[in-house]
Amino acid sequence: MTIVIADDHPFTLQGTQSFVESYGYQVIATCANGVSALNMIQLRTPDIAILDINMPALDGLDVAKKVQELKLKTKVILLTMHNEMTIYNKSKEYGVYGYILKEHAQVELKNCLSEVAKGNQYASGSLLNDLKSVRETGTGELDKLTFSERKIIELIAQQKTSKQIAEMLFLSEKTIEGHRSNIIEKLGLPKEKNILLKWAMKNGLE
Amino acid sequence: MTIVIADDHPFTLQGTQSFVESYGYQVIATCANGVSALNMIQLRTPDIAILDINMPALDGLDVAKKVQELKLKTKVILLTMHNEMTIYNKSKEYGVYGYILKEHAQVELKNCLSEVAKGNQYASGSLLNDLKSVRETGTGELDKLTFSERKIIELIAQQKTSKQIAEMLFLSEKTIEGHRSNIIEKLGLPKEKNILLKWAMKNGLE
DNA sequence: TGAGAACTAAGGGGTAACCCTCGGTTTTTA
DNA sequence: TAAAAACCGAGGGTTACCCCTTAGTTCTCA
């Protein structure tokens, strides 16, 4: 089984490599960014590519997308610092085989590798717990909103005022204000000034 | 020369250790968090402690502060993902010997270690360049602010209102409002509602 | 020692985000 | 078909942020 690893932090790259090799897997290349990782994957089509999500220029998710588009047989495993629901959803969309938080990476990656080696998809247990808690408190709440409400909260996240949103959607400012109140109530947010702006920015809807 | 390393990401921890050891230095302990790092430093007083800044509970900066307070002879080197001026300033305050960005950690740490081994302070060249560029474009703008202004914008980023800030600092609400205006002017921000909140959240001051 | 910066504080004015209530229309769905 | 959502809009109110000006104190530094 051949493996390519990409991470922009040299230490993490080296650490990941030596860890993977300590379990007897063969690392055929390491890359410091997404572009060279993609090149290497196209050139050598390894069995597995372990990619950091946060890389300059082309990130791990972009590479996963490209791998899918190019119909390469390489299975992608993503490593990430942050457990964000949106990234997790996208990664499923791009046919990623594994998604691992760096915090509990040691055990996870070992299990993940052996599962992926068998051809199975892998979603780590602790990851699911983490994501569950994220869903309960955070971005997953968006499901409760209607279509127009979601459209509006996106514009709020883009720093638009009610007046601007009203103009863009050809509606009255008062209508937008009404929607705002409904959104706040549905999300169970506290009664504060700019609470929607804060929420939208915190939940990375930009 | 004895070395202790602390990082909450196992791969980075392992990578840093094997890197340091490859140059013939002796790593006597590795820690997954700041608390155990501090314990280890007090117990063994190594020559050098290489600490990640972003760790849960007690971060690298906190440990550096403690080391200084306890008058330990251990020299602290900080590793960081983000190049923030405020952290750099604080690290100087706490007598930190080295401050290195993980992006160009390999060469940097090598030089840094050999310099610190000689007893010299080390500030990396590329770091200075990075910090300069940061100052010109983004978060570095904080330098333009005075001490109290910086304190206030931090609280703004923590979602505090002027009233709350006033109570916390035992000042008049009007004083805080005055500071807000000064900050906006110094940062050259446009005249919009909540512009400071937006700026602080965007620039990750939480 | 005197100018300038920083810090403190006040008054007064504008706007936007939020709150509440009340109406109406359309679409969905039980 | 009737109730239930969703959608649209209005009036009236509170509050927080921002703007402007003025002004006294303290501190630093040339």
Q: Which of residues 121-150 of B touch A (CB under 8 A)?
A: none
CB B129 within 8 A of CB B108: no
Choosing from B92, B116, B136, the residue where a domain stops is B136
Q: Given pLDDT bands bounded at 50, 70 and 90, which one contains residue A166?
A: confident
Q: Count Cβ neighbours within 10 Å for each residue of B142-179 and write b for 16 or more, e otherwise.
A: beebeeebeebbbbbbebbbbeebbeeeebeeeebeeb
* B131 and B36 within one domain: yes
Q: Which nucleotide lies nearest residue B151, CA to C1'?
A: C7
Among the listed ranges A31-45, A53-67, A115-129, which one has the minimum average pLDDT value?
A115-129
Interchain CB contact of B193 with A (< 8 Å): yes
**Mean of the per-residue pLDDT values for chain A?**
74
- The mean pLDDT of A156-168, rounded to a whole number, is 84
* B151 and B128 within one domain: no
* B175 and B130 within one domain: no
| DSSP H stretches of helix in chain A | 10-22, 34-44, 60-69, 85-93, 105-117, 125-137, 147-157, 162-169, 173-187, 195-202
Q: How far apart are CA A47 and CA A114, in angstroms?
A: 12
Our measurement of CA A185 to C1' C24, in angstroms, reads 22
* B96 and B56 within one domain: yes
Choosing from A84, A102, A137, the residue where a domain stops is A137
Residue A74 DSSP class? P
Write down the pLDDT at residue B52: 84
* B79 and B18 within one domain: yes
The answer to whether the beta carbon of residue B171 comes closer than 7 angstroms to any atom of strand C is yes
CB A183 within 8 A of CB A149: yes
The answer to whether the beta carbon of residue A174 comes closer than 7 angstroms to any atom of strand D is yes
Q: Given pLDDT bands bounded at 50, 70 and 90, which one contains residue B117?
A: low
Q: Which residues pair with A75 in a beta bridge?
A: A48
Q: What ipTM score was computed for the predicted complex, to two decimals?
A: 0.48
Write down the pLDDT at residue A137: 37
Percent of chain B with pLDDT over 70: 68
Interchain CB contact of B32 with A (< 8 Å): no
- Å from A130 to nearest chain B CA? 16
Write down the pLDDT at residue A163: 87
Q: B2: closest CA among B44, B39, B58, B62?
A: B44
CB B153 within 8 A of CB B196: yes
pLDDT in tens, A120-156: 666 554 444 443 333 333 445 666 778 888 888 878 8
- The mean pLDDT of A143-172, rounded to a whole number, is 82
Write down the pLDDT at residue B4: 92
* B111 and B30 within one domain: yes
Length of chain A: 206
Which of A73-77, A178-182, B68-72 is modeled with the greatest confidence?
A178-182
* A132 and A50 within one domain: yes
CB-based burial label for A24 (10 Å; 0-12, 13-18, 19+) = exposed
Interchain CB contact of A204 with B (< 8 Å): no
Token look-up 């190019």 returns A70
- The mean pLDDT of B178-190, rounded to a whole number, is 85
* B156 and B129 within one domain: no
Q: Given pLDDT bands bounded at 50, 70 and 90, which one contains residue B22?
A: confident
| Substitution target from A9, A11, A23, A50 for chain B, most B beta carbons within 10 A | A11
Domain of residue A184, CATH code: 1.10.10.10
Interchain CB contact of B169 with A (< 8 Å): no
Domain of residue B23, CATH code: 3.40.50.2300
* B122 and B71 within one domain: yes
Q: Which residues pair with B101 in a beta bridge?
A: B80
Q: Which of residues 63-92 of A touch B (CB under 8 A)?
A: 79, 81
* B107 and B25 within one domain: yes
Write down the pLDDT at residue A28: 93
Q: B153: closest CA among B135, B117, B180?
A: B180
Dihedral in degrees, nearest 10, Cα atoms A19, A24, A29, A30: 0
* B76 and B8 within one domain: yes
Type of residue found at A31: C
Choosing from B136, B163, B182, the residue where a domain stops is B136
How many structural domains does chain B have? 2
- The mean pLDDT of B56-70, rounded to a whole number, is 77
Our measurement of CA B182 to C1' C1, in angstroms, reads 29
Percent of chain A with pLDDT over 70: 67
Q: Considering only alpha carbons, which residue of chain B is nearest residue A81?
A: B9
Residue A99's domain comprises 2-137
Above 90 in pLDDT, residue B121? no
Q: Given pLDDT bands bounded at 50, 70 and 90, which one contains residue A5?
A: very high
Q: Given pLDDT bands bounded at 50, 70 and 90, which one contains residue A204?
A: low
- Edge to edge, the sheet with strand B75-80 lists B26-31, B2-6, B48-52, B75-80, B98-101, B122-123
**What is the enclosing helix (H) or strand (E) of B176?**
helix B173-187
Write down the pLDDT at residue B198: 83
- The mean pLDDT of A62-70, rounded to a whole number, is 80
The answer to whether the beta carbon of residue B178 comes closer than 7 angstroms to any atom of strand C is yes
Chain B CB contacts of A195 below 8 Å: none
Q: How far apart are CA B109 and CA B117, in angstroms?
A: 12
Angle, helix A173-187 to helix A162-169, in steps of 10 degrees:
110
Task: For residue A32, give both structure tokens.
Answer: 């410091």
Write down the pLDDT at residue A91: 56
- Å from A107 to nearest chain B CA? 10
* A121 and A61 within one domain: yes
**Mean of the per-residue pLDDT values for chain B?**
75
